Structure 1
Amino acid sequence: MNYLTATKNKKYLMYISQNYSYAILRPLQAEIFAQGGEVKWFLEGDEVDPKFLKPTEHRLESVKSIKDWEPDAVFIPGNTIPSFIPGKKVAVFHGFNSGKLNRKGKEDHFNIRGCFDLYCTQGPNTTLRFQELAKKHGFFQVSETGWPTLDPLFNDHASNPYLSKDSRPTVLICSTFSKRLSLAPKLYEQIKHFSESGKWRLLVQFHPKMAQEWVDKYKALSNDNLTFVETDNVIPLLQSADVMLCDTSSILLMFLVQRKPVVTFCNKAPEKHLLDITDKNNVEAAIDYALTYPKELVDNIEAFCQELHPYTDGKSSQRVLCATNELLHSDEKLKAKPLNLLRQFKMRKRLNYWSW
């Protein structure tokens, strides 16, 4: 059976709670539309802004409206979804595994919360672990598909507003919001100097939770050499840069899959695919070196990406859709998911939904 064409006339719900989830799921939405399926969106909580919905995107306003619509499958880039939402629940992840530990000291990326029927993994370094967990728990399936978010990274350059005819190298500066880990306060004077020297074209983009103090300070640096960008879609920025300067933010992994170098400042887990520095006086030299694309570094990046996300064909959305449709047509009997009564109660309270 061609599971891609099985999309026709099926209903797919995009269940999101953060603004960055729009960009994560839109490539998948485009593929569903191309195959004749139907898509609607549900926005949970007050951290996701409905103004980012496009005129062609249809929002369901309540749990009741979701139940009335009866989606076949639900795509979730978050960690949880209520069991009372109809349809097969498909985890597509909100980022790569950055090694963050939860309160129990375990990698949060692999925390099985009993919410999903299918995990669509990004590459071998997460697939094997999830397959082991699927065998242990028995209530979900795993399919390695690549990450739909990255499809435009390899497909769509024509409409990129940040591509420039500027002959200077472009450096993308990104930072996490954590005071302890963020490069924003630590490298402010260096980046200010770069913005004044004009040696490189600088693009600056911070995590949405970055302290407003530092957002304002970096916005004030804006000139012909430095552009501060606030966006819900970082893909065009990633495409536009030759090198990234970052700290521990997982966005650096999205940049690396283009096989482009990343200079990190005090990265918490420096490895040979990164150029990590701990002395702020060495930032400029490190960026200069990265811009030469040294062979050993490029080879290390390639080896890392083969484990992280080997797909550069821009067809991860197709693979996610095929895996989802295969699940919908599967006769395989999975175990019942755990009840998680406390979590479900909290979700009902959060959504103010008490019907059965």
Structure 2
Amino acid sequence: MKRYLFFVSQLYSLSIVRPLQKAIRERGDEVAWFLNQKQYADYLNEDEKQLATVQDVMDYNPCAVFVASNTVPDFFPGIKVQLFHGFNAQKRDENKGHFRLRGFFDLYCTQGPSTTEPFEALAKEHQNFEVVETGWSKMDPLFEPFTAKPYYPFEQSLAKPDNQAADAQQGKKPTILMTSTFTPALSAAFHLFDEVKRMSQREDWNWLITFHPKMDPEIVSKYKSLASDNLHFVETDDIIPLLQEADLMLSDTSSIISEFLLQRKPAVTFRNRVPGPHLVNITETADIEQAIEQALTKPPELMSAIEDYINLIHPYMDGKSSHRVIDATDSLVERGRKHLKAKPLNLYRRLKVRHKYGYYKFW
């Protein structure tokens, strides 16, 4: 029986690694969790095994550690596998963003050609890690049949006969999911409050709103105040059911947009940093409502651009990315790391991690 470890430093990691946990268990193997924040333990299920201390991890001796953040204790046993915490939303310059190397990982499991090709070039240059295109484990549940969660608040009422947009959504009122990044310079939430408040009064649309966990609490409170029969603010560590239920996303430059587009559904963005033909991008608040109405009709040119974008970022629709991640991991475990060059010393980063966990053994 193989043993694996999940290193969790953010709540959003839960939805990224749980599909992996399912795949690992299906193979008859074992997985444990190490949480770098004690309060995260409240989000674990009864059947999920937590390792409370560094010594517990050393004794557990996993063959691999799966990580959805940028750093991991280098002294943990096993190869270190980068899963990524989101798609490349191009919020920052590449040397500071998605393709920045921190020197901790032995294997990068990429999501699609748009991430694979740059990381393969970096692997060829540095020769101290491998790259395998697997698809993203978080997306596996997206391609499973939708089951409404208990918090889903809307009645599936029939569309009005004269409502073309609703008719196009197979007889139910369209549901708009608003999301937003927490970065003030990029966030739509700071600009669209009045428009969302007004549009939420429409009888022919439903609204779900969820924000990044780091969103300004004052902004969160403002949007929560809009709660009505047509609008609900949802706080959850699993956004997949919201993506499945919504017919259109309203957002900005958040990486969650790419996750939504994988369903071949349209997204309207406000001042997206790098807009493309796969998005309906708006720069003025007054144009939002018309853009939503138009996007709900799914114009052919927009849907064709979305299809091209999907093939670039994540062409895997079989819900088996987690299994590909495990296959790639097991392959490296079996071959070992002798063929890889040594990683840069990164003394400051490594000592910083050791100080955080109070672990100073070097043998």
Letter matched to residue 182 of structure 1: S
Q: Distance in 1 between matches of 2:155 and 2:69?
A: 34
Assess if the C-alpha contact under 8 Å between 1:139 and 1:337 holds in 2: yes
Q: Given that residues 91 and 273 in structure 2 are in contact (C-alpha distance below 8 angstroms), is that contact kept between their aligned partners in structure 1?
A: no
Task: Tell me if structure 2 keeps the 8 A contact 1:74–1:90.
Answer: yes
CA displacement at 1:323 relative to structure 2: 0.5
Distance in structure 1 (CA, Å) of the matches to 2:241 and 2:54: 34
Q: Distance in 2 between matches of 1:349 and 1:28?
A: 29
Per-residue deviation, residues 325-350 of structure 1 (Å, max 9, x unmatched): 11111266111222211111100111
* CA shift in 2, pair 1:100/1:282, >3 Å: closer
Quick one: which of 342, 347, 359 aligns to 1:353?
359
Give the alignment partner of residue 236 of structure 2, picking from 231, 239, 248: 231
1:85-234 matches, cutoff 5 A: 85-101=76-92, 106-161=95-150, 162=152, 165-166=156-157, 167-234=172-239
- Find the residue that maps to 1:276 and give its secondary structure: strand
1:290 corresponds to: 295
Partner amino acid for 1:53?
Answer: L
> Any idea what SS the aligned residue of 1:206 has?
coil
Q: 1 CA distance for matches of 2:23 and 2:187?
A: 36
| Letter aligned with residue 108 of structure 2 | Y
CA-atom RMSD, angstroms?
Answer: 1.5
The runs of 5 or more residues in structure 1 that have no matched partner are 1-8
1:100–1:109 contact (8 Å) kept in structure 2: no
* CA distance in 2 between partners of 1:198 and 1:234 (Å): 25
Contact 2:147/2:241 (<8 A) preserved: no
2:3 counterpart (6, 11, 30): 11
| CA deviation map 1:39-62 (0-9, x unaligned) | 10001146x621001100011011
- The residue that corresponds to 1:49 in the other structure is 40
Alignment-derived partner of residue 3 in structure 1: none
Structure 2 CA distance for aligned equivalents of residues 24 and 156 of structure 1:
18
Percent same amino acid at aligned positions?
50
Q: Is the 8 A contact 1:13 1:73 kept in 2?
A: yes
2:77 alignment partner AA: P
Counterpart contact for 1:174–1:244, Cα < 8 Å: yes
CA–CA distance in 2 between the matches of 1:121 and 1:240?
Answer: 27
- The SS at the match of 2:33 is strand
Match of 1:263 among 242, 262, 268: 268
> Match of 1:213, as an amino acid?
E
The one-letter code of the counterpart of 2:189 is: A
Deviation at 1:164, TM superposition (A): 5.3
* 1:324 counterpart = 2:329: yes
TM-score, normalised to structure 2, is 0.92
State how far apart, in whole Å, the 1-side matches of 2:189 and 2:345 are.
43
